[in-house]
Amino acid sequence: MSKVLEKIRNWSSAPGALGVLGLGLGVGLVIFASLGAFMVHANSESFCSTACHEMTYMAAEYKDSVHDRNRTGVRAACNDCHVPHAYIPNYLAKLGLLSDVWGHFVTHSIDTKEKLEAKRYELAKRVWLDMKSNDSRECRHCHNTTKMDPEKQTEKAQARHAKAKREGLTCVDCHFGISHKEPDGPGPQELGAADQ
């Protein structure tokens, strides 16, 4: 290690001083560009739905739901609902991936369909509470409520949305079990602060 340092020192005492600066610049570019590319890759539908077999169960349930296939072909894939759209929460979520790696390689917490079903309610509850706590931030990244045209919605939807607004509900309070199977147990509206 000290040999490498000495080499750098020898270079940099020569006219190659700028070379050391450039080296740092180059190393930085590679590292940060790699980080950025990793973030993009780890947010792709192809990564999420195929990298671990645990997620292929989730991906199979999602297939042909309205967020996958619909009239216009405008979709929301895994990351649109499940990866934070804000910078800091996004970085934190990526660090949180360690928990998934741990579960996949060490504890095997949901490595069979049976184990997944046994944990389904707990996992769903975790997502619901998270979405309730941030006012369905990920939903709202695509669905801009001020740009919704009530006149294009059904009367039932108009009435329900008005009611939800009055009662201070958030998207996931009603729109749950829409992309994955609904677990048995209390839904998002029944979950209160005590469940956090």
Partner 1 sequence: MARNRPLKLLAKLRGWTASKKSIVVLLTGFVASLAILGLTATTIVYTSTEEFCSTTCHEMTTNVAMEYKGTVHDKNRTGVRATCPDCHIPHSQVPLYIRKMGAVHDLWGHFITGSINTREKFEAKRQELAERVWIYMKENDSRECRGCHTAAKMDPEKQSEKAQARHAKAKKERLTCIDCHFAIAHNEPQGGVGPQELEVDRSLISKGAIF
Binding mask 74-93 for partner 1 (x = CB under 8 A): xx------------------
Binding mask 5-24 for partner 1 (x = CB under 8 A): x--xx-xxxxx-xx-xxxxx
178 touches partner 1 (CB under 8 A): no
Q: Which of positions 42-71 make contact with partner 1 (CB under 8 A)?
A: 68-71
Q: Which one of 29-37, 101-109, 129-137, 176-184 is the stretch in contact with partner 1 (CB under 8 A)?
A: 29-37
Position among 115, 143, 165, 181 found at the interface with partner 1 (CB under 8 A): 143
Q: Which two tokens stand for residue 167?
A: 């009662």
Distance (Å) of CA 70 to CA 31, 48, 67, 76, 82: 40, 21, 7, 11, 20
Q: Count Cβ atoms within 10 A of the Cβ of residue 106 and give its class: 0-12 exposed, 13-18 middle, 19 or more buried.
A: exposed
For residue 174, count CB atoms less than 10 angstroms from its CB and return exposed for 0-12, middle for 13-18, buried for 19 or more.
middle
**Options 152, 156, 193, 196; binder of partner 1; rule CB under 8 A:** 152
Of the residues 146, 155, 166, 184, which one makes contact with partner 1 according to CB under 8 A: 146
State in angstroms the smallest separation of the CB of 54 from partner 1.
24
Would you count residue 2 as binding partner 1 (CB under 8 A)?
A: no
SS3 of residue 112 by DSSP = coil
Is residue 57 within 8 A of residue 116, CB to CB? The reply is yes
> SS3 of 187, please?
coil
CA pair distance 114, 134, nearest whole angstrom: 31
Residues of this chain that interact with partner 1 (CB under 8 A) are 5, 8-9, 11-15, 17-18, 20-29, 31-33, 36, 68-75, 142-149, 152-153
